Amino acid sequence: FFQAVASPPSSNFLLLGPSGAGKTAFTTLLEAKSSPASKKSQSTHTSQQSTLVTVSLPPDVPTASNRYRSVNDPSLKEAARNPIKYRVRDTPGHGKLRVSQGLSELQAMAQSKDIKTRLRGVVFMVDTAALVDEATLRDTATYLHDVLLVLQKRAKNGSSSKRTTEIPVLVAANKQDLFTALPPGSVKEKLEAEIDRIRKSKNKGLLDASADSTLDDDEEILGNDDLESFSFKLLEHEVGVKVEVVGGAVKGDQQEEYGSGVRRWEEWIGMCL
Ligand code: GTP
Ligand code: MG
């Protein structure tokens, strides 16, 4: 009756998002939580290289396979002794490094058929206090648009017979501890509206280009080509790629009031395992 809880060998998650969003701070926190003994420096600086870390899921965070487990379940004790591990790839968010690192790693991981490098999910982190700035919003939405387009292309190229599982995206609405932070609901609205604008101007560009007959066949529009406004719901409905916006704070972890720190992001990760 006591089943061994086999941890998936290497479930990979990719951490994307603009510079300063808190990706490295999140990675560092996950590492510290996974091995409390290790003394990691808490200070972060702009990343220039991707890093891969292996961390463990807190034993009381449910996974997709054990979500109906009760708190008295003996397998919980087993999980505490043998926690489920997963890997997180922290990428640099700087605009000049995105295409060469974050986006190309996403492309490579999304195409991989190797079970060992299979991508379970993308965590796209945003600084919710910085989004009131128009330029930051535009930059953030452009990056997210490009990420979703990669996932859409993957979804559309997958043969319908084989049914590839779509890679879900968590928009981690970070820095909810700051009083200037936008709540997750309005982060979602702002990103959807801005992506809609980006999509429309791209569509118009394509139409203008097709008049010159220099249209690149490979160009694709996110969501559908209709005039309907973009929303994450539409993307899920049309393409099957799920996007969820969940608030939290790396700094406020352990503090209930800040969207429960990173707990709800770990719960999202658990549901992908
Ligand atoms: P790049 O490596 O440049 O892509 O940035 P990054 O996303 O890795 O950001 P980083 O983790 O370096 O964090 C940027 C700054 O935000 C640091 O000063 C962090 O301490 C701070 N920070 C991260 N999370 C939070 C949070 O939840 N609340 C607050 N107030 N500050 C945070
Ligand atoms: Mg970093």
Structural domain count, the chain:
1
Report whether residue 187 contacts ligand 1, using a CB cutoff of 6 Å.
no
Report whether residue 249 contacts ligand 1, using a CB cutoff of 6 Å.
yes
d(CA 191, ligand 1 centre) in Å: 20
Q: List Cα–Cα distances, 239 to 119, 158, 189, 220, in angstroms.
A: 18, 11, 20, 13
Report whether residue 25 contacts ligand 1, using a CB cutoff of 6 Å.
yes
Domain around 158: 12-272
Specify if 256 maps to a domain: yes
Specify if 111 maps to a domain: yes
Q: Atom 18, ligand 1: which residue's CA is nearest?
A: 44
Q: Which of 15, 210, 222 is CA-nearest to residue 109? A: 15
Q: Which ligand is nearest to the CA of 93?
A: 1
Strands 51-56 and 85-90: antiparallel
What ipTM does the predicted assembly reach? 0.99
Q: Which ligand is nearest to the CA of 25?
A: 1
> Which ligand 1 atom minimizes the distance to the CA of 258?
27
d(CA 251, ligand 2 centre) in Å: 15
Residue 151 sits in a domain whose CATH number is 3.40.50.300
Report whether residue 240 contacts ligand 1, using a CB cutoff of 6 Å.
no
Specify if 6 maps to a domain: no
Report whether residue 94 contacts ligand 1, using a CB cutoff of 6 Å.
yes
Specify if 2 maps to a domain: no
Report whether residue 47 contacts ligand 1, using a CB cutoff of 6 Å.
yes
pLDDT tens for each residue of the chain, 273 residues long: 444 555 445 789 999 999 999 999 999 999 998 887 665 555 567 888 899 999 999 988 988 876 666 666 666 666 667 788 999 999 999 988 898 889 999 998 888 777 777 899 999 999 999 999 999 999 999 999 999 999 999 988 865 545 558 899 999 999 999 999 999 999 999 999 999 999 988 877 777 766 655 545 556 888 876 668 899 999 999 999 999 999 999 986 655 555 579 999 999 999 998
Specify if 235 maps to a domain: yes
Specify if 248 maps to a domain: yes
* CA 220/CA 156 separation, integer angstroms: 11
d(CA 183, ligand 2 centre) in Å: 23
Specify if 180 maps to a domain: yes
